[in-house]
Structure 1
Amino acid sequence: MKTIGVGHGTGKIILMGEHAVVYGEPAIAFPFRGVRVTATFNASAHNQITSSHYSGLLADAPEALQIIQQLTTHLCQQFDQGPFHLTIESTVPSARGMGSSAAVATAITRAFFDWIDVTLSDTDLLTYVNFSEAIAHGNPSGIDAATTSGSQPIYFEKGKDFEAFPLNIDAYLLVADTGILGRTREAVAAVAQLMKTKTEYTNHLIHHLGHLSRLTKEAIIHNQPHELGQYMNFAQEDLRQLTVSNERLDELIQLARDNGALGAKLTGGGRGGCFIVLCQDYQSVTHIQTQLKYAGVKDTWMQGLGVYEHV
């Protein structure tokens, strides 16, 4: 057993296929290392936690942190481990569709196994993170657990196993927060209503989004950033037609394109929340980031891809 155990988890974004995935079309989720969680375990007289939300005895933590209490209790019982002090540092924004709860569970699990000096397999990591996600969300798809604990894009369809594929595209990805809370439930209901009232047209949009997910996978594998940017732009227009974008998203996405983005689209549920911007190089991404901040976005995060990943 080590004196201190440390573990990390990353955020995630939906790159392509949101809303269409509900109707059986493929979607792609992406580990986003522009935001991350770090967890640290060390021995203590009592189970304690230090975090930005709460610091003190874990037993007295607010309801929002009870998921952490249940996961750590589960781990300690399985490995007959004594009391601990857990520290959590996170830059993953909550309620923004970036996999915050799964990233926290990933970091905690990795830190715990590092602390007790036991090898953690990828399969076991997913099991523990999905245990936590089931408490948080009831019946999770598992995609957040797979992406926040992995290093590759995930291609998935309803009812099928996830498929990881190589990340091989030379570009930068910028994620920007509009500052408006997303309205996922409302957006999903709106698409369902369109499916009833304009079935043929809505099906066409849904199928096209699925087609764009397939093309996106190939563009990433074959290092085609310009094609990927174009597919993102096409997807944004489909999502706008499905009424899951809004005026603020449209305005900011157009601003990014006007300032040199290869492509831009909303990510997640829509009607607020975040959007993503694909940029050719570092100069481009910093310029667009500045312009978006002038326009009032709440926050931005960037990640280098391909050859830029470790620059």
Structure 2
Amino acid sequence: MSSTGDSATAADLAEEFRQLYGTDPEGVWAAPGRVNLIGEHTDYNDGFALPLALPHRALAAVGRRTDGVVRVHSADIPQGVFRLDVADLVPRSENPGADNGGWAAYPVGVVWALRAAGHPVTGADIHLSSTVPTGAGLSSSAALEVVTALALDDLYELGLSATELAVVAQRAENDFAGVPCGVMDQTASACCTEGHALLLDARDMGQRQVPFDLASHGLRLLVVDTRVKHELGDGAYAERRSGCEAAAAALGVPALRDIAHEELPAALERLAAAGGGETIRRYTRHVVTEDHRVEQVIALLDADDVRAVGPLLNEGHASLRDDFEVSCPELDLAVTAANDAGALGARMTGGGFGGSAVVLVEEADADAVTKSVTEAFAAAGYTAPRVFEAIASRGAHRVA
């Protein structure tokens, strides 16, 4: 999204804020969704990931309140204004049955997380709009969290860094909304820079901006939104996280990140000898090999050998499909149809169980690959996918 587009949308959002709340917002902020090039289900294993921010983003018009009330409204969801007292906010980590407002739990959870960390947030009026597709594995929830965190940080002069805002946003999703995600999504939304992918070390939050200019190489990265909605709070994500933690405990390491790639065969034998079932051995194999794939992709990008990344995307998809079992027929078809049409490589991206795939293509082949995927979906009787180009974009920032 261009800065001109941001400004126009910001003006519209500010006018809607005035109509909703009867006063002007104190500003408008933006935070993007993301795609993850490689490094899936590694962040909560203290591992590595390589996401990039999308042009698609959430916008928030926000004003402070001093009466302990938070009001939240979305231009995209016709459910009216949610009104909650900040003193009454209860995270699902303390009360699993808490009704935290459905989608509103993401921005409201940020208010709770900031207050729980001791920051003097006394309330807010928030009006949101987003172009990040929901349920598509593109971090629509993280964009809502990060844009809210950035706005409140600015308005209340909290002085938090982008990385600290990402951690606050993750806590909101983990504890308040009840989704046990890692920190990669929020960090990408908060910290990515235009024209770069972000190498994230989830253990110490170390970051490196990696140049990612595919156009200069005659390449494109396509996103195929299968339109199969995923829901990560349904237990399947939590089961995989707990399985990884059980494997690390059985191996006597803090996290699966601590198993080097060359140590994997011996680690799998140790798990089997300790009574570790096939499932946690498969989870272990995925995480260890996926961390290694991130390292391989970084080496290729540093060597300016971008085309060689393609086969590693295919390997990553096979691992997510077979070892981690988070793919679905639509994602598998998108990957197969793209590769059959000449893609350099493809894989599912995001938490899985639906959502999107990324496809690395020669610029000249982009239309043919898109056509192949679309026709394959039609032949299978699936809903037509949405295909668009991923362009490495700017992280969260103030727009008005």
Identity across the alignment (%): 20
TM-score normalised according to structure 2 size: 0.61
Are the aligned partners of 1:169 and 1:221 in contact in 2 as well (CA < 8 Å)? Answer: no
| 1:176–1:274 contact (8 Å) kept in structure 2 | yes
**1:288 is the counterpart of 2:356:** no
Report the secondary structure of 2:83's partner residue. helix
Match of 1:173 in 2: 221
Aligned pair partner of 1:97 in 133, 137, 153: 137
Kindly provide the amino acid, as one letter, of the partner of residue 184 in structure 2: I
Distance 1:14 1:276 in 2: 8
Q: Which residue of 1 aligns with 2:319?
A: 238
- State whether residues 320 and 327 of structure 2, in contact with CA within 8 Å, keep that contact through their aligned partners in structure 1: yes
Distance 1:160 1:256, change over 3 A: same
The 3-state SS of whatever aligns with 1:304 is: coil
**Structure 1 216/39 Cα, relative in aligned 2: closer, same or farther at 3 Å?**
same
**Higher mean C-alpha deviation, range 261-270 or range 56-65:** 56-65
Distance 2:350 2:55 in 1: 17
Matches within 5 A, 1:55-94: 56-59=80-83, 62-72=101-111, 84=125, 86-94=126-134
Between the aligned partners of 1:157 and 1:261, the Cα distance in structure 2 is: 29
* 1:224 alignment counterpart: 305
Measured after TM superposition, the shift of residue 206 of structure 1 is 4.9
CA RMSD of aligned residues (A): 4.1
| Change in CA separation of 1:198 and 1:94 when aligned onto 2, cut-off 3 Å | closer
> 2:385 is matched by which residue type in structure 1?
K
1:88 Cα deviation from its structure 2 partner: 0.9
State the partner residue of 1:30: 51
CA radius of gyration, larger in:
2
TM-score, length basis structure 1: 0.76
Structure 1: gaps spanning 5 or more residues: 307-311
The answer to which of 104-113 and 287-296 deviates more is: 287-296
**Residues 159-238 of structure 1 correspond to what in structure 2 (within 5 A)?**
159-170=203-214, 171-182=219-230, 185-186=235-236, 196-197=277-278, 206-238=287-319
The CA distance in 1 between the partners of 2:280 and 2:119, in whole Å, is: 51
Partner of 1:145: 186
Task: Report what 2:263 is aligned to.
Answer: none
Equivalent in the alignment of 1:9: 31
The amino acid of 2:308's aligned partner reads E
Q: Is the CA contact (8 Å cut-off) linking 2:224 and 2:387 kept in structure 1?
A: yes
- How far apart, CA to CA, are the structure 2 residues paired with 1:51 and 1:179? 21
In structure 2, the gaps of 5 or more residues are 1-23, 85-99, 248-271, 378-382, 394-400
Find the aligned partners of 2:41 and 2:124 in 1 and give their Cα distance: 43
**Which residue type is aligned with residue 174 of structure 1?**
L
Instruction: Please point out which of 77, 80, 103 is paired with 1:53.
Output: 77
Range that drifts further, 199-208 or 237-246? 199-208
